[in-house]
Amino acid sequence: MSILEVKGLYKNFGKSEVLKNIDLSLEKGETLAIIGPSGSGKSTLLRCINCLERAEKGTIILDGNTIAEEVAGVTQYLKDEELTQARLHLGMVFQNFNLFPHLNVLQNLTLAPMSVDKKPKEQAESEALDLLGKVGLRDRADAYPCELSGGQGQRVAIARALAMDPDILCFDEPTSALDPELTGEVLQVIKELAAEHMTMLIVTPEMGFAKEVANSVVFMDEGRVLERGTPGELLVNPKEERIKAFLNKLLSV
């Protein structure tokens, strides 16, 4: 069974329909890249999957657990406490890192494991240091977020998400706030996670990266999934004219 199944998802903001009948599934160990023009609903889809936004219609099943279910045309979510537990299966990395500015790097990593998972401080710190080693920042454990470069900040944000041992890691344009010379170090960390078969959902404008790292690519347009395929199919030889035009435009910039 898929680790994530989204069926018939609709999301409105006021009168505007932002997601229209989205079906999406993700297999364990798969890296799925979501691409598409600005305003097509990519961030909203990730936010709905993470329950940061609530959908009007549709069903979301995470790891066999139905967290949102359409009943008589309306989506009903799990109760708050159950939803909080279910959401622990998901990690989220945002464009702007969202680190806690008043906590140092180590504290950023240990806060949730200690408060939510009730891990002893020593264990949380030792695991956090291992994760910092994994993203090449073990020596910055005492630094505060304002003392880090953008690339370092984003690598800390990835380590913080990993500290909760999520089943799926979601990224929303993880390199878009970075200077071009800093994107490589963040993409490298994500590539290594993909090689370890971490299950990931990545919204990215970096087509080269999507081609290299994703098993599967979804193209969204105007709130719909227009096409899904392997990077070789969708990014090289898409069926839809709309996608060809999008890719050609990127190439001509």
Q: Is 43 in the site for Mg ion (CB under 5 A)?
A: yes
Give which of 60, 45, 52, 62 is closest to 11, Cα–Cα.
45
Which strand (E) or helix (H) includes residue 210? helix 207-213
Give the residue, chosen from 3, 4, 6, 18, that forms a contact with ligand ATP under the rule CB under 6 A: 18
Which of 39-47, 60-68, 74-82, 187-195 is the region at the interface with ligand ATP (rule: CB under 6 A)? 39-47
**Least CB distance from residue 124 to ligand ATP, whole Å?**
33
φ/ψ of residue 146, rounded to 5: -70, -15
236 CA to centre of own chain: 24
Q: Is 44 in the site for ligand ATP (CB under 6 A)?
A: yes
Give the residue, chosen from 42, 57, 87, 155, that forms a contact with ligand ATP under the rule CB under 6 A: 42
Which of 41-49, 67-75, 100-108, 190-198 is the region at the interface with ligand ATP (rule: CB under 6 A)? 41-49
CB 107 within 8 A of CB 132: no
Per-residue x/- mask for ligand ATP, residues 115 to 154, rule CB under 6 A?
----------------------------------------
Q: Is 39 in the site for ligand ATP (CB under 6 A)?
A: yes
Q: Is 31 in the site for Mg ion (CB under 5 A)?
A: no
CB 128 within 8 A of CB 109: yes
CB 68 within 8 A of CB 111: no
**Least CB distance from residue 215 to ligand ATP, whole Å?**
21
Using CB atoms, what's the residue nearest to Mg ion? 43
Which strand (E) or helix (H) includes residue 105? helix 105-115
Which residues are near Mg ion by CB under 5 A?
43
Which residues are near ligand ATP by CB under 6 A?
13, 18, 36, 38-44
